[in-house]
Structure 1
Amino acid sequence: MKTKAWSNWPVRILLLIYSVIVIYPLFWTVTTSFKTTNEFYDNPWSLPTSFSIANYVNAFEKANIGSYFFNSIVVTIGALAICITISFMAAYVITRYDTRWLRGLRKLYMLALFFPIAFKIVPLFMLLNQLHLLDNRFGLILVYAATSIPFTVFLMIGFLSTISKDYEEAAMIDGCSRYGILFRIILPMAQSGLITVVIFNFMSYWNEYIMALSFITTEGKRTLTLGIAYLMEVQRYATDWGALFAALVIVMVPTLLLYSLLQRKITSGLNMGGLKG
């Protein structure tokens, strides 16, 4: 037993080193967000002398982070609602009906997973321009939802394929309609899978930069990622680094909070078969 315990020490040391590498930048960003500009220039690696929220106030009032935050919330929630609704129903049909057309559709979804984002920018830009949805939050919502549907369908197929058809047959005998079966029987049973894809897509939308940069030009419609990039450019000629780090913390908080609260759901969802598709 002692030999086995000692044999695990190299792995533990490597994991400890990796944890420090991951956690320290987060810790440094959070502590720096409470520093004054003078403290930052004196010693950027030291702890702040006092934990003041002045930088966060400046980030909301002077750097317009509140507007960027609101735009990101609207775009993320809107894209999630459209993507999850369409993907859930599409995955259900694909797993429950075996036709040549649906098998081809499933292969098409899988093929779309390997389509690079760089190849999508120009066609999407032209399409949004024709639909008069350039520099429009709803247009960005549609783009986010559409580009993430293949990935979401692929995961949901794995989850729904683990649910036995016996539940549906019993519900049909009781007189339940197809839509009733989908939303009253299948939806609650697929809760872990839905939470998993919601978290993955939330992180993708929240941190997305390239498409937002390509399709949004008005300052009042910028998302948080665009706002942070704008602040970083401003800091080349300004000195309010505290507000910049406070803005970075504001960007990180929603994803860290969501993941920490629901990480067990993610693990259980993946174990149910979310990657079997």
Structure 2
Amino acid sequence: MNENTGRNFASNLLTRIVLLIYSLIVLYPLFWTLMTSFKTTTEFYDNPWSLPSSLSWENYINALDKANLGAYFFNSILVTAIALVVCNGLSFAAAYVIARFQFPFRKWLQKLYMGSLFIPVAFSIIPLFILLNNMNLLDSLIGLSLAYAASAIPFTIYLLIGFLITIPKEYEEAAAIDGCSNFKTMIQVILPMAKSGMITITIFNFMAFWNEYVMALSFITTETKRTLTLGLAYLMEIQRFSTDWGALFAGLVLVMLPTMLMYALLQRKITAGLNMGGIKG
């Protein structure tokens, strides 16, 4: 008994040490980026690894105002919000039909969405470019939002099917007895019960849309319509001929902060949602 206890203690201790080292490796670059965003240019060149002598909020003011990241931040919020509404709305309706109804080629349709997961997004850039150009939506935040939504629909449908399959059929039967239509049942009965799945997929899609760069670079040409990732890349180009590194790192923090906060606050819901969706998915 004592020998087994000793082995378990040693195993747990080793695991904790490995996890601690891994946590330091992951967290230190984030901590360094945050601290550097408060440094002055002189402090950065004197010792880039030291802590700032004071919190220089001027870097964030320069990033938001002079580098125009404030406007790009708003563009990213707008694009992400529209893409989430379109993607989640269409995907939930499609997943509901595939998961809850029996009809010809249902399995093949589900496999089609699964197969779409293995197509790299880069392969769709040219077709989407031509399509948006024909629809007069090129260099448009609305067009970029629709492109984001379309790229995420296969993954969203695939994950939501796993959630919806776990909901018992008796709820829909009871709703039908009460006179609810299929659409009303989907919105008022099934959607609230799939809340954890919707939260999970919203978080994943938010992080994907917020950090997306390739489509934004391909479809947006007007400076005032740039998203935050494009604005940050533009700021990095400026730094090749400038010395305001504090503003650059402040911009990096502004890009990372929303996704980090969302994941930190909703981490348990993500884990619970994935576990629930994986029961029968």
Q: TM-score, normalised by structure 1?
A: 0.98
Preserved CA contact (<8 Å) 1:65 1:224:
yes
Are residues 1:30 and 2:34 paired? yes
Deviations 1:199-239 (A, max 9, x none): 00000000000111000011100001111111111000001
* Residue 243 (1) aligns with residue 247 (2): yes
Question: Aligned to 1:53, which of 57, 62, 68?
Answer: 57
Report matched runs for 1:1-277 at 5 Å.
1-274=5-278, 276-277=280-281
Cα distance in 2 between the residues matched to 1:132 and 1:276: 42
Q: Tell me, in whole angstroms, the C-alpha distance in 2 between the residues paired with 1:165 and 1:276.
A: 14
Residue 252 of structure 1 aligns to which amino acid in structure 2? Answer: M
Offset of residue 3 of structure 1? 2.5
Q: Confirm or deny: 8 A CA contact 2:36 2:249 kept in the other structure.
A: yes
Distance 1:202 1:194 in 2: 12
CA distance in structure 2 between the partners assigned to 1:154 and 1:70 by the alignment: 30
> Would the aligned equivalents of 2:63 and 2:69 in 1 still touch at CA under 8 Å?
yes
Q: After superposition, give the CA deviation of every residue in 1:32-87 in whole Å (9 maximum; x if it has no partner).
A: 00000000000000000001211111111101010110000000000000000000
Q: Give the Å deviation of 1:12.
A: 1.5
Distance (Å, rounded) in 2 between the aligned partners of 1:208 and 1:155: 20
In structure 1, the gaps of 5 or more residues are none
Deviation per residue, 1:149-194 (Å, 9 max, x gap): 0000000000000000101101111122212211111111000000
Partner-residue secondary structure (3-state), 1:8: helix
The CA distance in 1 between the partners of 2:68 and 2:241, in whole Å, is 18
Aligned AA (1:215): F
Paired with 2:279 and 2:256, the residues of 1 have a C-alpha distance of 27
**Whole-angstrom distance in 1 between the partners of 2:261 and 2:177:** 43
1:275 Cα deviation (Å)? 7.5
CA RMSD of superposed structures (Å): 1.1
Structure 1 stretch 235-244 or stretch 126-135: which is displaced more? Answer: 126-135
Separation in 2, partners of 1:141, 1:275: 32
Classify 1:19/1:97 alpha carbon distance in 2 versus 1 (closer, same or farther; 3 Å): same
> Retained in 1: the 8 A contact 2:160–2:277?
no
Q: Which moved more, 1:203-212 or 1:91-100?
A: 91-100
Aligned length: 277
TM-score under structure 2 length normalisation:
0.96
d(CA) in 2 for partners of 1:229, 1:275: 41
Q: Which amino acid letter does the alignment assign opposite residue 126 of structure 1?
A: I
Q: Give, in angstroms, the shift of residue 117 of structure 1.
A: 1.5
Contact 1:159–1:190 (CA under 8 A) maintained in structure 2 = yes
* Cα distance between partner residues in 1 of 2:233 and 2:86: 27
Q: Secondary structure at the match of 1:211?
A: helix
Between the aligned partners of 1:33 and 1:250, the Cα distance in structure 2 is 10
What fraction of aligned residue pairs are identical, expressed as a percent?
A: 66
Contact residue 91 and residue 160 of structure 1 kept, 8 A: yes
1:83-114 CA-partner distances (Å, limit 9, x unpaired) = 00000010000011122232221111111111
Q: What secondary structure, in the 3-state scheme, does the structure 2 residue paired with 1:80 have?
A: helix
Whether the aligned pair in 2 keeps the contact of 1:156 and 1:274 (CA below 8 Å) is: no
